[in-house]
């Protein structure tokens, strides 16, 4: 059994298949049966090659066709075979078809329903892109590859079931499917390619299976309605801009398997109020949490060895908890691309592991914090005080409040805890 590891390998395999078919097609016979054009080759096989763009209504592509006393198995739908057939309303694809070619049903704007039978293994690049009316797709468990742009801009699509068997979701595969509300990515998927779900503004819930190792660049960028994300326990890399602009996201838990949080991965996630960064993270990329104005505290695990420029800039944090035992240089408050905002450096309390305060006070960037507390490597919750008193107040945006302020106020206590109160 051939297992396709990634999108590039899949393209190579399809190219090889095309090379094998070319000499056969050179002597192939073209026929029209029931309004569909086929290419007959290899004595037993047939390919759907094109169809008049004026085709109306429903179409059922047969698994076999008969011609001059011979039976041919329909194994392939050629690229762009039905492109622009705006009158096509539904299509049924038989299990004899191995591959649905690139752009096969591109811009079939009237297409509302697609049934793909068990046996199909690949949905080619752009196969159903710009099928704006498509509301329902049945993808069988035999499919292992969903190509780039496969369902791009299918804005009418409200739900999709990705079967356990798919290993690759190509770049932009479901980009701008604005009607999608939830996606469950099965454990069989190993890679979510760049921008796979970018611009899916209606998407509210995403579950990423435990087989995924890489969440590609821009994978969920601009999914502003996203409120819930579960990241699988095998993910090692969260790509650049992966969740940028997911302003509806309120909390995120990054598992210990993740080693890299990419550049601007959670940038402009203004609704985030809680972030858990796993103990395996080594790199926090530049701008990773820039403008996440809903966060009131951040805990950085000891595993981190690099924090990029502006990673926590753009809003003011009241509390920063660093578990890093050997601090490294970060961009300080005098830099235009400083790691934390100016007010964070000047007003926040930085809690550091017991016995490391002198290291922090002598390390570039960290030493710019005006308030460094020799706390506990286990975090603020273990810092004790005989008496608990209020030491400062902040707005939800992280601004220091000195005068009377109506609304929700974050109060920082001298034991390192915070609480929210409503001032009327």
Q: Is 228 helix (H, G, I), strand (E, B) or coil?
A: strand
In a domain, 104, yes or no: yes
H or E stretch covering 15: helix 7-26
343-390 pLDDT per residue, tens: 999 999 999 999 999 999 999 999 999 999 997 534 443 333 334 556
In a domain, 156, yes or no: yes
DSSP label at residue 13: H
Structurally, how many domains does the chain consist of? Answer: 2
The residue range of the domain holding 23 is 1-195
Measured CA to CA, the distance from residue 157 to residue 178 in angstroms comes to 8
Q: With a cut of 70, which residues of the chain have pLDDT below it?
A: 1-27, 51-53, 376-424
CA distances from 41 to 20, 79, 97, 121, 327 (A): 12, 17, 15, 21, 68
Residue 225 token pair: 């309605």
Domain end position, chosen among 195, 210, 231: 195
Residue 13: what are its φ and ψ, rounded to 5°? -65, -45
In a domain, 191, yes or no: yes
Residue 317: what are its φ and ψ, rounded to 5°? -95, 130
Cβ contact 37:50 at 8 Å:
yes
- Give the CATH number of the domain where residue 20 resides: 3.80.10.10
141-180 pLDDT per residue, tens: 999 999 999 999 999 999 899 999 999 999 999 999 999 9
Checking phi first, is residue 50 left (phi over 0); if not, alpha (psi -120 to 50) or beta? Answer: beta
pLDDT for 422 equals: 45
Q: Can you say how many angstroms the Cα of residue 306 is from the centroid of all Cα atoms in its chain?
A: 23
Instruction: Give the angle 38-42-48 at the CA atoms, nearest 5°.
Output: 20
In a domain, 89, yes or no: yes
DSSP annotation string for 100-163: E-TTTTTT-TT--EEEE-BTB-EE-TTTTTT-TT--EEE--TT--EE-TTTTTT-TT-------
In a domain, 126, yes or no: yes
Residues whose CB falls within 8 Å of the CB of residue 69, separated by 6 or more in sequence, listed in order: none
In a domain, 303, yes or no: no
Measured CA to CA, the distance from residue 271 to residue 279 in angstroms comes to 24
In a domain, 402, yes or no: yes
Measured CA to CA, the distance from residue 371 to residue 254 in angstroms comes to 28
Among candidates 180, 192, 266, which has minimal Cα distance to 225?
180
In a domain, 85, yes or no: yes
pLDDT for 138 equals: 83
Cβ contact 305:285 at 8 Å:
no
Strands 182-185, 205-208: pairing is: parallel
Strands 45-50, 36-41: pairing is: antiparallel
Measured CA to CA, the distance from residue 209 to residue 360 in angstroms comes to 39
pLDDT for 274 equals: 94
Burial degree of 361 (CB within 10 A; 0-12, 13-18, 19+): middle
End-to-end alpha carbon distance in the chain: 67
Locate the DSSP E strands across 278-346. Answer: 283-284, 297-300, 306-307, 319-322
Q: Is 252 helix (H, G, I), strand (E, B) or coil?
A: strand
Measured CA to CA, the distance from residue 328 to residue 360 in angstroms comes to 9
Domain end position, chosen among 176, 195, 214: 195
Among candidates 1, 70, 87, which has minimal Cα distance to 29?
70
Domain end position, chosen among 141, 176, 195: 195
DSSP label at residue 348: P
Cβ contact 119:140 at 8 Å:
yes
């Amino acid at each position: 059994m051939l297992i396709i590891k990634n999108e590039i390998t899949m393209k190579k395999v399809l190219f090889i298949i095309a090379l094998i078919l070319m000499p056969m097609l050179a002597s192939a016979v073209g026929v029209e049966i029931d309004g569909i054009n086929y290419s007959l080759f290899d004595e037993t096989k047939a390919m759907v090659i094109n169809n008049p763009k004026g085709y109306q209504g429903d179409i059922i592509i047969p698994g076999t066709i008969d011609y001059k006393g011979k039976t041919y198995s329909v194994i392939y739908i050629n690229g762009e075979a039905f492109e622009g057939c705006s009158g096509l309303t539904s299509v049924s694809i038989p299990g004899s078809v191995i591959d649905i070619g690139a752009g096969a049903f591109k811009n079939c704007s009237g297409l509302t329903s697609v049934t793909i039978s068990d046996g199909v293994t690949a949905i080619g690049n752009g196969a159903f892109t710009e099928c704006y009316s498509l509301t329902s797709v049945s993808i069988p468990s035999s499919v292992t590859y969903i190509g780039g742009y496969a369902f791009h801009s299918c804005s009418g699509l409200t739900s999709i079931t990705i079967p356990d068997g798919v290993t690759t979701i190509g770049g932009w595969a479901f980009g701008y499917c604005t009607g999608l509300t939830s996606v469950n990515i099965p454990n069989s998927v190993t890679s979510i390619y760049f921008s796979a779900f970018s611009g899916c503004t209606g998407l509210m819930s995403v579950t990423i299976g435990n087989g995924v190792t890489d969440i590609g660049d821009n994978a969920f960028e601009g999914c502003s309605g996203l409120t819930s994300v579960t990241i699988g326990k095998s993910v090692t890399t969260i790509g650049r801009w992966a969740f940028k602009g997911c302003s509806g996201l309120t909390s995120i838990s990054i598992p210990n398997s993740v080693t890299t949080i990419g550049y601007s991965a959670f940038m402009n996630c203004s609704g985030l109020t809680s972030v858990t960064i796993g103990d395996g993270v080594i790199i926090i990329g530049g701008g990773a949490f820039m403008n996440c104005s809903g966060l009131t505290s951040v805990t950085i695990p000891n595993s981190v060895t690099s924090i990029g420029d502006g990673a926590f800039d753009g809003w003011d944090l009241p509390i920063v908890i660093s578990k890093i035992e050997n601090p490294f240089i970060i961009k300080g408050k005098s830099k235009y691309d400083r790691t934390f905002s100016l007010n964070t450096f000047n007003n926040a309390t930085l809690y550091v592991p017991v016995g490391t305060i002198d290291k922090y006070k002598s390390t570039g960037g960290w030493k710019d914090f005006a308030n460094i507390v020799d706390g506990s490597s286990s975090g603020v919750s273990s810092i004790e005080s005989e008496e608990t008193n209020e030491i400062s107040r902040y707005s939800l945006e992280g601004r220091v409040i000195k005068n009377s302020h109506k609304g929700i106020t974050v109060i920082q206590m001298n034991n390192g805890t915070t609480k929210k109160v409503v001032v009327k």
